[in-house]
A and B are shown apart, each in its own frame.
Chain A
Amino acid sequence: MEPLDEELEESALELPSEPMQLNMGPSHPAMHGTVRIVLELSGETITKADVQIGYLHRGFEKMCERGTWTQCFPYVDRLNYVSPMLNNVGFALAVEKMLGVTVPERCQYYRVALGELARICDHLVCNGAMAMELGAFTPFLYCARAREIIWDIFEEETGARVTHSFGRVGGMANPPTAAFKDMVRAGLPRLLYMVGETEKLLLKNRIFLDRLEGVGRMSKEDALSLGWTGPTLRSTGAAYDVRRAHPYLVYDRMEFDVPVGTTGDNYDRFMCRQEEIRQSARILEQALEQMPDEGPINIDDPRVVLPPKDEVYSTIEGTIQHFKIVMEGVKVPAGECYSYTEAGNGELGFYLVSDGSGTPYRVRIRPPCFAAVAGLQQLIEGAMIPDVVPTFGSMNMIGGECDH
């Protein structure tokens, strides 16, 4: 083909151009948790990505400085709102560490059991939503159905399905119901069956596998230096699990495996979560087996734990105890502590400072997905636009937790 005009200089033919910029989010169906990714594109390929969090900012840490220690529980519920029970237990353990108290054994098992249920719920939602975003809607419904089993148990135990505010300093709001063990034992096989069905639908699907395998790959060294924890770290091959590395509650009595991946890609992250669901089920069975049916759920310290309601209404001692704890809060000795647990996304840490009063002086959170999202840029630069969706999905960023 002949040039249009041979007289023209070569460069004058080209139109002035600059790389295309594309906003994914903050309100994009796949950007759950309200995050914005500014992509710089060369065709379909991402040359530069800028991940911006902070669209969901409620000032969680500042809010905690207003009320009593106990009044933080509804706030921590709304950190990782997919598994609030794990946050509740994590925060309770942190305050108990400051107080120097340990909850009774029955409560420890109860916390482990509820926590593992919440973890299963967390992984189901993450994997289900990731599949749905890739067009696989049926597996999402299977996961949602399986989650329903857990939510029914939570509703029975706590009265609430999503945000339970069930943790207390020195115990739990209520002892296990009579139906707790039966409900879990009846629900688990059904749940695991649905997890298996989900895998059957997905793991032989070429399209699904193509979008996961080899996409969003992270090396073990990079993951560690980014501060990754939880399933995202384990998918790279580092077998770090707080429950195993620094056991808390009664995790040292539980037999379970820490599943690890090899390549740290989307597929490994997906499969790690799937396997952790099964391991959580194992822990649950053992916890139910070992959990005593009788015994106190709360520590025996009137400075920390509320009295029974009938005593509050009928005796002056109960009224005073209730008044002191509700109006002035649990007096946590002055000092600071860092307490960490394995939450759905990894190491959930609380750094607390107390000035000795009933109100926290400082509550600092170390959200696991904050570190994970920090690595997202590295994962998607050089990838294609469609790769952003499964990669971001496998990070399981939770906006509430990433409240910074």
Chain B
Amino acid sequence: MSNPEPTPPPPPSTIKIDGREIPFEKGDTIIRAAHKAGIDIPHYCWHPGLSVAANCRMCLVEVLPPPGRPAMQLDILRWDPEKKEYVPQKKPKLLPACQQACAPGMEVLSESSPNVDEARGAVQELLLLNHPVDCPICDQAGECRLQDYWLEHQRKGKRMHQEPVHKPKGVVFGPTIVYDAERCIVCTRCVRVSAEVAKDPVLSIRERGNLGEVTVSPGRELDHDYTLMTEHVCPVGALTSSDFRFKARVWFLRSARTICQGCATGCNAFLDYDPRNNTPYRHRPRDNEEVNKYWMCDEGMLSYKHATQHRQTGALVGGEDASLADAMRAAKEQLQGLKDDPERVAIILSAQHSVEDNFALLTLARTYIGASSFFVSGKPLGRGDAILMSEDKNANTRGVMSLVAATGAGGDKPEAPRPIEDLVKGIAAGKYAYAIGLGADVEVDAKELRSALSKLKGFVVIAAHDGALPRAARVVLPACAWTEAEGTYVNKKGLAQISEKALRPLGDAKPGWSLVGELGRALGFATSWKRIADVRSGMPAEVLVKRPGQAEAEEPAPRTENQAPAAAPAS
């Protein structure tokens, strides 16, 4: 409704929850305002990234009537243990906090209301009425809302002793998801994720009440690109990922805040790994309003496997396994003549390695060797979508581009590394005699590349994974994967994000920047980075600015859960 007259000053946009005053924005529901203020109102069906369903009734709160107005009361029958009969009583009508919009000055009772307490206990009891005794074999145990809320809000034993309702177990929904209808509380989060996030409304609910269950549309499978998000939002163990199913118990896992390496979007993730056997078990999206909100695609969710699969865990000399020391010696021999001929040295940077690794190689090339021909390797373009997936399947393309531009000679035209295709042509024209490369994958044909590179006098590659580049190289040095070393990655929006170290390096692997430093020392240069901070201290600040075009102001980041420090301090 528009108001033509000058508007009076708006009333203070705050509500009170249990006496604590919190602000809200127009359109906020009670639970959202509370969530922003860090107050937890128990809920199953509500999710900050999804529409409101208000079907679990766990978030019921008591909203006090405005001053001078009577409270909305319900007539109820309450059991009187003394009279041994039901007596008529009144109690206030409770409202779902997830659906009730905030109004200025609203007073909400959550923890402090006995009516709310009773209602939550009753809801919890209802949800557990037909729940199977599955905790010992359930993947969700340890991070299950039913368990947490039972202890917080119910704390009572079973009163119903009839046989519970039995429903299908182990229903295969698609290639990634297995469904257990008995554990399901029919909160419809998975239905909404499919419809609202993946834009593929393939799930729905059939039957009602005790018999309700999630079902896949006839003739379809749950096979869109965000199926694992249905499992991720499931507050109980109803949807399980066939990848993670029965693989690990969550209380043994530790989480590292990493950046997904699946594409240039740079989704924030938790990598859950078991420190005892140094094995990653799963990815979980890490909330970041600016990047991935609450979601990740299936490809990214399963990309944690690359931390251990197809890895370059040892050095290679001429395709044969070698010790790191031997490989360094071989690399020195390979690159013997390069100091006399810096014009004929080609440097291959990698869009798959961190800014630090690339900067180390760039420094070695520019400052010490005097090379000026830069190329960039990376995976070829893939499938993208309008939701999260980028066509560029490399996590740090933008980082490499801006790094070369920022460290270049300057001028009107910012310098950019050239594609590998140019390198192949350049070698054919006899322009290059030596090459030092970073990374494993290339977007050109591997055979063509191999035959071209075989013409070089010396070719050394630092790679974390097996791929076309290490296969073509004479000497390969094993680098850490992103999970094994801290590193900064710049996503396609220009956001520099730090990915934490999770696992211990496999085999002889060392951080890429450290290998570059060793290689430099072997060649007789003073590349002496001991810690990642040493590498970072020389890095151009503009590469690490959080958002492009925005000054580096010390403003507090918008509230996102567990966000990694976005920019490294460029001292």
Contact = CB atoms under 8 A, between A and B. Distances in A.
A317 B133 CA distance: 8
B157 interface: yes
Interface residues of B, number: 19
Contacts of A197: none
B468 interface: no
Interface stretch (A110-118, A124-132, A307-315, A346-354): A307-315
A320 B135 contact: yes
Interface in B128-166: 128, 131-136, 141-142, 146-147, 150-151, 154-158
Contact of A327 (B132, B142, B150): B142
Contacts, number: 48
Given A321-B151, A323-B147, A316 B158 contact: yes
A311 B136 CA distance: 14
B182 to A, nearest CB: 10
A320 B146 contact: yes
A319 interface: yes
Contacts of B154: 317
A318 interface: yes
Interface in A280-316: 302-303, 307, 311, 313-316
A278 interface: no
Nearest to B249: A327
Contact of B147 (A307, A311, A320): A320
Contacts of A302: 151, 155-156
B470 to A, nearest CB: 43
Contacts of B141: 323
A313 B133 contact: yes
Contacts of A323: 135, 141, 147
Interface string A356-391: 000000000000000000000000000000000000
A319 B146 CA distance: 11
A324 interface: yes
A312 to B, nearest CB: 9
B58 to A, nearest CB: 16
A302 B142 CA distance: 17
A380 to B, nearest CB: 50
B157 A315 contact: yes
Contacts of A324: 147, 150-151
A156 B118 CA distance: 43
B150 A317 contact: yes
A314 to B, nearest CB: 7
A327 B251 contact: yes
Contact of B135 (A303, A314, A316): A316
A356 to B, nearest CB: 14
A307 B150 contact: no
Interface in B203-223: none
A315 B154 CA distance: 14
Nearest to A302: B155
Report the interface size class on chain A.
10 to 19
B142 to A, nearest CB: 6
Contacts of B132: 316
B138 to A, nearest CB: 10
A331 to B, nearest CB: 9
Contact of A303 (B133, B155, B157): B155
A317 B153 CA distance: 12
B158 A321 contact: no
Contacts of B147: 320, 323-324
Nearest to B183: A316
Contact of A321 (B131, B136, B150): B150
Nearest to B160: A315
Contacts of B133: 313-316, 319
A316 B138 CA distance: 12
B135 A319 contact: yes
A316 B140 CA distance: 14
A311 B158 CA distance: 9
Contact of A319 (B136, B151, B155, B156): B136
A222 to B, nearest CB: 52
Contacts of B135: 316, 319-320, 323
A320 B150 contact: yes
Nearest to B147: A320
Given A307-B157, A311-B157, A327-B142, A316 B151 contact: no
Interface string B74-113: 0000000000000000000000000000000000000000
A302 B146 CA distance: 15
Nearest to A331: B151
Contacts of A316: 128, 131-135, 146, 158
A199 B146 CA distance: 63
Nearest to B132: A316
A56 to B, nearest CB: 30
Contacts of A315: 133, 157-158
Nearest to B144: A320
Contacts of B158: 311, 315-318
A317 B132 CA distance: 10
Contacts of B157: 307, 311, 315, 317-318
A324 B155 CA distance: 11
A80 to B, nearest CB: 33
A302 B157 CA distance: 9
Point out which of A302, A313, A323 has the most chain B C-beta atoms below 10 A from its C-beta: A323
Interface string B369-403: 00000000000000000000000000000000000
Nearest to A322: B135
Interface in A65-99: none
Contacts of A318: 157-158
A319 B136 CA distance: 8
A313 to B, nearest CB: 7
Contacts of A311: 157-158
A343 to B, nearest CB: 34
A321 B157 CA distance: 9
Contacts of B142: 327
Given A315-B133, A317-B128, A303 B151 contact: yes
Interface in A317-340: 317-321, 323-324, 327
Nearest to A327: B251
A307 B135 CA distance: 15
Contacts of A320: 128, 135, 146-147, 150-151
Given A303-B155, A313-B133, A320-B147, 13 more contacts: A307-B157, A315-B158, A316-B128, A316-B132, A316-B133, A316-B134, A316-B146, A317-B150, A317-B154, A317-B158, A318-B157, A318-B158, A324-B147
Interface of A: 302-303, 307, 311, 313-321, 323-324, 327
14 contacts: A302-B151, A303-B151, A311-B157, A313-B133, A315-B158, A316-B133, A316-B134, A318-B157, A320-B128, A320-B146, A320-B150, A320-B151, A321-B151, A324-B147
Interface of B: 128, 131-136, 141-142, 146-147, 150-151, 154-158, 251
**Across the A-B interface, the 8 shortest Cβ-Cβ residue pairs:** A315-B158, A316-B131, A302-B155, A320-B150, A319-B135, A320-B147, A324-B151, A317-B158
